[in-house]
Amino acid sequence: MRLQPMNLPRQCLASGHSKSCQTASIATAEASVQTRKHADAEVQTEVPAPVGARTVAQHDSPRLAAFLRRVEAMVIRELNKNWQSHAFDGFEVNWTEQQPTVTCLHTLGYPPAQGQGLHVTSVSWNTTGSVVACAYGRLDDGDWSTLKSFVCAWNLDRRGLNPQQPSAVVEVPSAVMCLAFHPTQPSHVAGGLYSGEVLVWDVSHPEDPLLWRTGLTDDTHTDPVYQVLWLPEPRHSHRFQVLSVATDGKVLLWQGGGAGQLQLTEGFALVVQQLPRNTKLKKPPRGETEVGATAVAFSGFDPSLFVLGTEGGFPLKCSLAAEEAALTRMPSSVPLRAPARFTFSPHGGPIYSVSCSPFHRNLFLSAGTDGHIHLYSMLQAQPLASLQLSHKYLFAVRWSPVRPLVFAAASGEGDVQLFDLRKSSQKPTVSIKQTQDDSPVYCLEFNRQQTQLLAAGDAKGTVKVWQLSTEFTEQGPREAEDLEQLAAEVAT
């Protein structure tokens, strides 16, 4: 093959500049290195020993007795010395950087929702503690069933977080009253609507987030859903179902079925005639038989025990295992049961929030429109303590996940109040002003993974993430015992 000479392209004349550049001389140095000592080691992983090895292993009783004889005297001496020692009195060690005050880390909002005058009705942290979601709706006015609303989620660990631009926004056809993230799936969140529906979304798919919905069937709530929770399924504890409570008096358990439909698996109905009569209650208006439920909390110690807050202001101790049928004429595909086992002494107005202590099986808090917090023990109807925190309503109360004696409350006067029962049982230790114009704070949640964070949502449509001072995140030495003592003040 012969190479043909190509026509060389004509030189193009163009005006141009020429520049030259040169880097400064680069400094270099040379050094030589040699190891003088070396060692050989072989490494191999071993199959980890199974946990729960037999505790009574083969051993030689005489040798064990001889060992104990040798060490007993020394151990007893040390135990006695320790018991009388004052060597460590007042000695405290700080392992983490001390944070002296409460600061506001983030102020998050979604302008289109705020522009519509929507309130933040509920906040929830996801299972990894890095995403906070809020539900927009309204808590004061009546019929907003045709108002479009939003659920927004912000990923706080992402770089370049824009507080006015949530990482995920879900449009919802009706006001959302409550929200709860899935306990193990970081992006699944359940919400209860003003229309009575319960929906489950996946916020990692913003184009098509809806996973399951109850739809508007005979089983659905007929009143706004005030709280939703995720519960482990009784037989498969890694799968979860959704529990919803509404002011129609029903407590319903839903499971995600095929075709995006939430199926009703179990249901409970509260009827006035079936309330336990251990506490004298005001007679309800004629004709009303349902008891509206406005809040629910499960005890971490007994998975079938739960506390309901009601519109009548009295908390109810209920059980998932209740078998008595409910005397209600509400239609339902699953037989409705009466769950209430014990009625507690009421507040002066409807309850908005209940919270069970994560450190003591018998203690729970309730907060309501009378501006009071009641600390109840499961063992008696009268509250152990009644604290007035606000002259307006109290919308939310939550126990701290790390300090047994600390809880936080959201008030209608625009503050988040932090109570440390170790310091004072009468007034809040810290009162954080969230809104400038005293508009109410409607919801708050502690972050269980990053325990110094507390998210609170208010009537201006903003969610503020507060970083708590170290005094609220580190347990004192005898807190669990002090809580035990508090709970034991049950009147005999």
Partner 1 sequence: MQAEVEETLKRIQSHKGVMGTMVVNAEGIPIRTTLDNSTTVQYAGLLHQLTMKAKSTVRDIDPQNDLTFLRIRSKKHEIMVAPDKEYLLIVIQNPCE
| CB-nearer residue toward partner 1: 43 or 57 | 57
80 contributes a contact to partner 1 by CB under 8 A: yes
In degrees and rounded to multiples of 5, residue 423 shows phi and psi of: -85, -50
Pairing of strands 262-269, 336-337: parallel
Binds partner 1 (CB under 8 A): choice among 78, 218, 324, 489 = 78
The CA-based angle 404-154-411, given to 5 degrees, is 45
76 contributes a contact to partner 1 by CB under 8 A: yes
Count of residues touching partner 1 (by CB under 8 A): 34
83 contributes a contact to partner 1 by CB under 8 A: yes
For residue 57, how far is the Cα from the chain centroid? 43
Q: Contact region for partner 1 (CB under 8 A) — 78-86, 278-286, 308-316, 376-384?
A: 78-86
Find the shortest distance in angstroms from Cβ 40 to partner 1: 20
| CB-nearer residue toward partner 1: 64 or 216 | 64
**Residues 40-69 interacting with partner 1 (rule: CB under 8 A):** 51-57, 59, 61-65, 67-69
> How many other C-beta atoms are found inside a 10 Å radius of the C-beta of residue 485?
10
| CA separation for the pair 349, 285 (Å, rounded) | 15
| CA separation for the pair 311, 326 (Å, rounded) | 19
C-beta separation of 318 from 306 below 8 A: yes
3 contributes a contact to partner 1 by CB under 8 A: no
| CB-nearer residue toward partner 1: 91 or 208 | 91
Binds partner 1 (CB under 8 A): choice among 5, 38, 46, 88 = 88
301 contributes a contact to partner 1 by CB under 8 A: no
| CB-nearer residue toward partner 1: 400 or 417 | 400
| CB-nearer residue toward partner 1: 39 or 57 | 57
C-beta separation of 438 from 444 below 8 A: no
475 contributes a contact to partner 1 by CB under 8 A: yes
Binds partner 1 (CB under 8 A): choice among 115, 142, 331, 477 = 477
Find the shortest distance in angstroms from Cβ 490 to partner 1: 24
Q: Contact region for partner 1 (CB under 8 A) — 19-27, 70-78, 336-344, 384-392?
A: 70-78
75 contributes a contact to partner 1 by CB under 8 A: yes
What is the contact surface with partner 1 in residues (CB under 8 A)? Answer: 51-57, 59, 61-65, 67-72, 74-76, 78-80, 82-85, 88, 475-478
